[in-house]
Amino acid sequence: MVEIANSRWVVTGAAGTIGTELRAALHERQVALVSTDIVTTTPVGQDDRVVQADVGDLDAMVALCEGADGVIHLGGIPDEADFHELATVNIVGTYHVLEAARRAGVPRVVYASSNRLTGMYPAGTMVSPDMPARPDGFNGVSKVAGEALCQLYTDKFGISTVSVRIGSYEQQPGSPREQRTWLSPADAVRALLAAMTTTQASAVFYAVSANSERWWDLDAGTAIGFVPEDDAAGWGALEPIDASMPQGGRYASEEYSLDRMRE
């Protein structure tokens, strides 16, 4: 396991819900932070340097990465949107983060991927990271590209990359789908800590809580030290779901993508 105490990590998307939770946990572990977002961000402590910047600015990303031990790339458009916007922010922005890490000599990038990358698999299928991508929308397509960029930077440039396919991050599950896909805040921190500290050069795994019923195989996460502890069953009885429906649920519908396209 890689030691992170007294190390320095850049966090993009630092003002988001996951970024805020993770930064607090890292501060408790004596990790110095460079927290960046396009919006105003509140520091979590004295060792948290907040910088307002855009992942679209490669030079800014390079400057932030100087002297860092790793980058946790949470920044991006988290939901379905017009493909042009997703390509600019999620694909080109991820390229900028990886390229900045390469130029600055940063050894590891942790990439926030998504379960939406495989949302077209039916609910009755157990999905593992080595299965082909079946995105449920253009957001999922952008995550396919992001994971491919991570693998390229590992294979070609020797940067360690870990892609974390984040589940339904909520305080508690709010639907039958989320009973299968829920990722608790505490388990999200556990997943990202495992990604930061693994000795594997590259990995892809699903970050999902230890729900009584789930759609994603946990073996790849277990291999790098991710052991979720929470279970959606603690919030109520499991509700039935059609095994033939896409795992993406409403996100997999035509309307969900078409309604977000540019005119």
The answer to whether position 216 is within a domain reads yes
pTM above 0.95, yes or no: yes
Average pLDDT over residues 205-232: 98
What is the residue range of 37's domain? 8-258
Per residue in 79-108, pLDDT (tens digit) is 999 999 999 999 999 999 999 999 999 999
Return the pLDDT at 1: 86
Average pLDDT for 45-60: 97
* C-alpha torsion sign, points 19, 22, 24, 29: negative
Question: Has residue 1 been placed in a domain?
Answer: no
The total number of structural domains in the chain stands at: 1
Q: What is the CATH number of the domain that holds 133?
A: 3.40.50.720
Residue 207 domain-assigned (yes or no): yes
pLDDT value at 263 more than 80: no
Nearest Cα to Cα of residue 141 among 117, 112, 107: 117
Can you give the three-state secondary structure of 157-198, one letter per residue? HCCEEEEEEECEECCCCCCHHHHHHEECHHHHHHHHHHHHHC
> Does the residue 57 lie in any domain?
yes
Q: Provide the percentage of residues in the chain whose pLDDT is more than 70.
A: 100
Instruction: Tell whether 3 is covered by a domain.
Output: no
Q: Is residue 248 part of a domain?
A: yes
